[in-house]
């Protein structure tokens, strides 16, 4: 019941664009944040499928990212401006500059692209939601595994000034 209350109290983060002026204003006022733009259509099945994942990503990356949705049927001029011919199409914009554009409703592709530009979301935000401390400990273990793979296993093998 607590999780239902948490979800109910969470405001929606994905912004649906109402006009070209609305889009231009959001992109201009994003400041140092990246803007992920999804071009979608109401009749597009894959667009509908990725919608909930975009909402999750908007919460995870809220410190460095805004996510906006543009309905291509309502905003043909924006779709033409960004050369959108397939849906869903995604853009990453920062400081009014298009950094990347890709097509498809692959949530993993969207997330990896966000990580490329924004880094991984803050793990501290997830810790209270995760519950038992065993889950957050798994992420550092992966990091430790990577560090062990790229660092020498014994400090004595490293040259020092004392030798």
Give catalytic residues, as residue numbers: 44, 47
CA–CA separation, 74 and 45 (whole Å): 17
Listed in sequence order, the DSSP H helices in the chain are 2-9, 20-29, 45-60, 76-81, 107-118, 123-130, 134-150
CA–CA separation, 63 and 128 (whole Å): 17
Containing 67, the helix (H) or strand (E) segment is strand 65-71
Distance (Å) of CA 137 to CA 45, 53, 124, 133, 142:
37, 24, 12, 6, 9
CA–CA separation, 70 and 7 (whole Å): 25
Task: Say how many C-beta atoms besides its own lie within 10 A of residue 44's C-beta.
Answer: 18
CA–CA separation, 27 and 96 (whole Å): 6
């Amino acid at each position: 019941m607590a999780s239902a209350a948490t979800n109910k109290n969470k405001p929606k983060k994905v912004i649906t664009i109402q006009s070209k002026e609305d889009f231009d204003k959001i992109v201009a006022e994003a400041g140092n944040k990246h803007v992920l733009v999804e071009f979608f259509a109401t009749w597009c099945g894959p667009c509908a499928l990725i919608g909930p994942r975009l909402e999750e990503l908007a919460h995870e990356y809220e410190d460095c990212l805004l996510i906006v949705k543009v309905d291509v049927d309502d905003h043909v001029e924006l779709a033409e401006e960004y050369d959108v011919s397939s849906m869903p199409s995604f853009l990453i914009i920062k400081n009014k500059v298009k950094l990347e554009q890709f097509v498809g409703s692959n949530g993993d592709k969207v997330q990896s692209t966000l990580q490329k530009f924004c880094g991984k979301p803050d793990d501290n935000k997830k810790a209270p939601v995760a519950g038992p401390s065993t889950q957050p400990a798994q992420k550092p273990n992966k990091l430790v595994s990577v560090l062990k793979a790229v660092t020498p296993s014994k400090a004595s093998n490293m040259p020092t000034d004392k030798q």
